[in-house]
Amino acid sequence: MPDKTPWIEIRDLRFARGGRTIFDGLNIRIPRGQVAAIMGPSGSGKTTLLRLIGGQLRPDRGQVLVDGQDVHRLSRRALYRLRRRMGMLFQSGALLTDLDVFDNVAFPIRENTRLPEPVVRALVLMKLEAVGLRGARDLHPAELSGGMARRVALARAIALDPELMMYDEPFTGLDPITMGVIVTLIRRLHDALGMTSIVVSHDVAETSSIADWVYLISDGRVVDQGPPARLQEAATDWSRQFLQGLPDGPVPFHYPAPDYLGDLMNAEGRR
């Protein structure tokens, strides 16, 4: 059972890029052992949030605490040490294209430890077995389907047995079978390895099925949160629109435009 002291805490986070404010006053507290889902529409900065937690981006204001350490005040060395306890699954998989599947999974182990090669081999095969791709060890990333690439990337992300796993849009662009495989894998790995997981996604059904707690973010802040079951029924108009996928609502269908009829009748307008 997850205990209630936050393991990851985001306090009053503000982040702007290219003149656009992505987060403003974001607060999130994730206890150890939880699968937390962060959901929001495209462009709401979900991927950016993961990069902020991983220390790849620097916030304009506010703090990100992981296990009590302020990620953005750590020295380079300490930050890299902290990152060894994190795993991240990129949306694209981000496999290293010049290495085959085996070497990709072995990469973080070889780079971060001095384990002898037989141990590395055993570890890699265990991780590949966990995602069901032990037989694909000699393939190159170019020979993998999207779903397989994501599973290899997952095996690589858990190679060092991280305490925190971050998933960036893990369900996007997959066929139903592969999607089911990934959903099961995320939950199973989470329970088996005793990790804390953050899933960033806009796929409502899949995310709800594995998350313990859901944060809905929009306009740079958390607009609603709770266990997935509760959010489905009682919620604000906005979250109902998002969770049920209604085309119109608080988030308008139309991009802001001048009055339709007037626009059509305006003969002098060039376009």
Partner 1 sequence: MTALQALGRWWLGVLGRLGRGHLFLLRTLVALGPLMLRPRLWIRELYSVGVRSLLIILVSGLFVGMVLGYQGYITLVDFGSAEALGTVVALSLVRELGPVVTALLFAGRAGSALTAEIGLMKATEQLSSMEMMAVDPYRRVLAPRFFAGILSMPLLAALFSAVGVAGGYLVGVGVLGVDAGAYWAQMQANVDVFDDVLNGVIKSLVFGLVATWIAVFEGYDTEPTAEGVSRATTRTVVHTALAVLALDFILTGLMFGAL
User: Distance between CA atoms of 167 and 187, rounded to whole angstroms?
Assistant: 12
Residues 6+ apart with CB under 8 A from 75: none
Residue 95 Cβ vs partner 1, minimum distance, rounded to whole Å:
8
Would you count residue 238 as binding partner 1 (CB under 8 A)?
Answer: no
In angstroms, what is the minimal distance from the CB of 243 to partner 1?
Answer: 29
Would you say the C-alpha torsion 249, 25, 235, 179 has a positive or negative sign? positive
Site for partner 1 in 135-154 (CB under 8 A): 153
Q: Which of residues 156-185 bind partner 1 (CB under 8 A)?
A: 156, 160
Task: Identify the residue among 69, 112, 178, 232 touching partner 1 (CB under 8 A).
Answer: 112
Residue 264 structure tokens: 């059509």
Distance CA 152, CA 106 (A): 11
96 binds partner 1 (CB under 8 A): yes
Among 13, 86, 106, 214, binds partner 1 (CB under 8 A): 86
- Across the strands, what pairs with 16? 21
Please identify, using beta-carbon distances, which residue of 131 and 231 lies nearer to partner 1: 131
Query: Closest CB to partner 1 among 103 and 212?
Result: 103
Among 69, 74, 107, 226, indicate the residue that binds partner 1 (CB under 8 A): 107
- Tokens representing 213 are 């707690």
CA distance 244 to 238: 10
Range in contact with partner 1 (rule: CB under 8 A) among 15-23, 106-114, 118-126, 220-228: 106-114
CA distance 235 to 63: 28
Is 56 a residue that touches partner 1 (CB under 8 A)? yes
87 binds partner 1 (CB under 8 A): yes
Alpha helices in 113-259 (DSSP H): 117-130, 146-157, 176-193, 204-210, 228-233, 237-244
The residues that touch partner 1, with contacts defined as CB under 8 A, are 51, 54, 56, 80-81, 83-84, 86-88, 90-92, 94-97, 107-108, 111-112, 153, 156, 160
